[in-house]
Amino acid sequence: MSGTRRSGLLLHPTSLPGPYGIGDLGPEAYRWLAWLAETGCTYWQVLPLGPTGYGDSPYFCFSAFAGNPLLVSPDLLAAEGLLTPSDLADAPAFPADRVDFGQVIPWKLALLDLAFERFRTAPPKAATDLYRRFRKTQAHWLDDYALFMALKEAHGGGPWTEWPAPLRHRRRDALASARSSLEAESQRQAFRQFLFFEQWGRLRAEAQRLGMRILGDAPLYVAGDSADLWAHPGLFKLDGDLRPTVVAGVPPDYFTETGQLWGNPIYEWEHHAADGFAWWISRLRALLGLSDLVRIDHFRAFVDYWEVPAGSPTAESGRWVWGPGAAFFHHVRRALGGLPIVAEDLGELHPEVPALLAELGLPGMKILQFAYDGDPGNPFLPQHHTENCVVYTGTHDNDTTVGWYRSLRPAERRMVRAALGSRGRHIAQDLMREAWASPAFLAVAPMQDALEAGPEGRMNTPGRLGGNWSWRLPPGRLTRSRRDRLAALNRESGRFRPN
């Protein structure tokens, strides 16, 4: 990944401004891309783009392959004749500074259902051909996903593990009956995916036209309530009743006395290896159809992972188990012709994790908010960065830089100011300047830091129930002065991408 120095900003599409309660893939996304291109940045980083479930987290999706239908733009549907201006006139008075998912979800899905009815009753010829082609090329995951979502809806939205046994175990006659009785509902789910992939494909083409690249994101684990688990139970550690025998987490550490119990099902890696990791290769190929690079969350689990007996109240009773290691990536490289991957290698690591990164030539991550603890050997300090890494001021899981700085004790603030040569009045700008000066081939900041937003701009607080993932870019913030300031930073750091 080494070579030309580049930069980018992290902004999930749900955070874009717009009148419909949640950011989408319509006009504001194109304005955002144009503004970002004018700053001389190369990368737009996003969070996972999948359909979110309980808690609205993009890291717990109903599918590792599907897109989030909430991102479909009503304006683009209206331009195509699938919606009318009157359909959009009764939009609720959504807040402009955050996503109210409770309001957005029913209103947005009702719009998509209306678009589907119009498509079904008076289908445009060109769109019909595209839809048929989409159904055919994506059938390897789409058929199961569409039926899964239709079945969820038919069972009141409950998890698939509570469905009748013949459906849970995918008995042939039960599936045939469900496909027949829920054909219209499955079509509706597939159509939502068609809209997402069509709109994202056009937006990505615009990014490519502007010389921009997209850095995507992949959770390592899938959600327990997902089409992936239901359709491929043999790829996970499940019992005879299709319930996880062990679940994912991390052990107790300095920050958490009982560890973190995530609850995701864990891969049966021997089964994956037996067919050359075909499911994973298909997943990564799909992700690289949406982005140019993919950040893999919790990368260390490819070396070793913490598994906890299902039903444990905390993660304390877990154990370390070896992951698939380098063999996994050798299969992926042969299948995909390369490894366009960024490894999230944060936290305490087995020594074999950096060794694997070095063997594969994969870039890891450096977070500057972790750097200034007074230890000159702190690996997050810029003097310890290499060219083959991605440096961040912070991530979606961190407070904004302004919020982080305010939370420090006075002595810690003095240490940060001294390290940055800062007076502290524009700490986010100063930390971005430090990141951009790093040897790392790519420097990234959350958009909140480019705005110098306070803690109200935080995207996610790990461990907090509710209130996450809702921040939105306030209207009118993509100003000429901010564009010019970021362009100057790109030029002075040698990261400016000329048009």
Beta bridge partners of 367: 392
**Dist. CA 165–CA 154, nearest whole Å:** 15
CA 486 to chain centre: 24
pLDDT, residue 190, reads 98
**Nearest by Cα to 115 from 18, 23, 201, 199:** 199
Active site residue 397: yes
pTM for this prediction = 0.97
How big is the chain by its Cα radius of gyration, in Å? 23
Is 344 one of the catalytic residues?
yes
Dihedral sign for Cα 77, 78, 79, 80, please.
positive
| 36 domain-assigned | yes
Are 371 and 382 in contact by the 8 Å Cβ rule? The answer is yes
345 counts as catalytic? no
Give the residue among 129, 33, 19 at the shortest CA–CA distance from 78. 19
Q: Which of 344, 345, 430, 449 is catalytic?
A: 344
> Could you tell me if residue 402 is inside a domain?
yes
Which ranges in 155-261 belong to alpha helices (H)? 165-168, 172-181, 183-209, 227-231
**Residue 248 falls within a domain, yes or no?**
yes
pLDDT digits (tens), the chain, 499 positions: 556 999 999 999 999 999 999 999 999 999 999 999 999 999 999 999 999 998 999 999 999 999 999 999 999 999 999 999 999 998 999 999 999 999 999 999 999 999 999 999 988 888 899 999 999 999 999 999 999 999 999 999 999 999 999 999 999 999 999 999 999 999 999 999 999 999 999 999 999 999 999 999 999 999 999 999 999 999 999 999 999 999 999 999 876 889 999 999 999 999 999 999 999 999 999 999 999 999 999 999 999 999 999 999 999 999 999 999 999 999 999 999 999 999 999 988 889 999 999 999 999 999 999 999 999 999 999 999 999 999 999 999 999 999 999 999 999 999 999 999 999 999 999 999 999 999 999 999 999 999 999 999 999 998 787 889 999 999 999 999 999 999 999 999 999 998 7
Q: Which helix (H) or strand (E) holds 496?
A: none
Segments forming the whole domain that contains residue 39: 6-68+210-492
Which of 208, 196, 293 has the alpha carbon at shortest distance from 33? 208
The predicted pLDDT at position 1 comes to 55
**What's the CATH number where 20 sits?**
3.20.20.80
Task: Fill in the amino acid letter for 303.
Answer: V
Could you tell me which of 236, 259, 266 has the C-alpha nearest to residue 313?
259
- Please report, as a single letter, which amino acid is at residue 319: R
Q: How much is the pLDDT for 3?
A: 63
Whether residue 406 is contained in a domain is answered as yes
283 within 8 A of 334, measured Cβ to Cβ: no
Q: What is the rounded distance in angstroms from the CA atom of residue 301 to the CA atom of residue 272?
A: 15
Amino acid in position 342: V
The answer to the question of residue 114 being in a domain is: no
H helix and E strand count, the chain: 19, 12
- Residue 9 bridge partners (DSSP): 44, 445
Q: Domain count of the chain? A: 1
User: Catalytic: which of 387, 397, 412, 452?
Assistant: 397
- How many angstroms separate the CA atoms of 440 and 191, rounded? 41
Q: Does some domain include residue 195?
A: no
Segment 98-106 long-range contacts (CB within 8 Å, at least 24 positions apart): 98/470, 98/471, 98/472, 99/14, 99/21, 99/22, 99/23, 99/56, 99/469, 99/470, 99/471, 99/472, 100/21, 100/470, 101/22, 101/56, 101/470, 103/21, 104/20, 104/21, 104/22, 104/70, 105/70
pLDDT at 54 (0 to 100) = 86
Q: Please check whether residue 287 lies inside any domain of the structure.
A: yes
Q: Give the pLDDT of residue 329.
A: 98
354 belongs to a structural domain: yes
Beta bridge partners of 342: 295
Four-residue CA torsion sign, 311, 314, 317, 322: positive
Distance of alpha carbon 259 from the chain centroid:
23
Instruction: Give the ranges where 244-390 is alpha helix by DSSP (H).
Output: 269-274, 278-288, 326-336, 352-360
Give the CB-side neighbour count of residue 47, counting CA atoms within 13 A. Answer: 26
Among 297, 316, 387, 452, the one annotated catalytic = 297
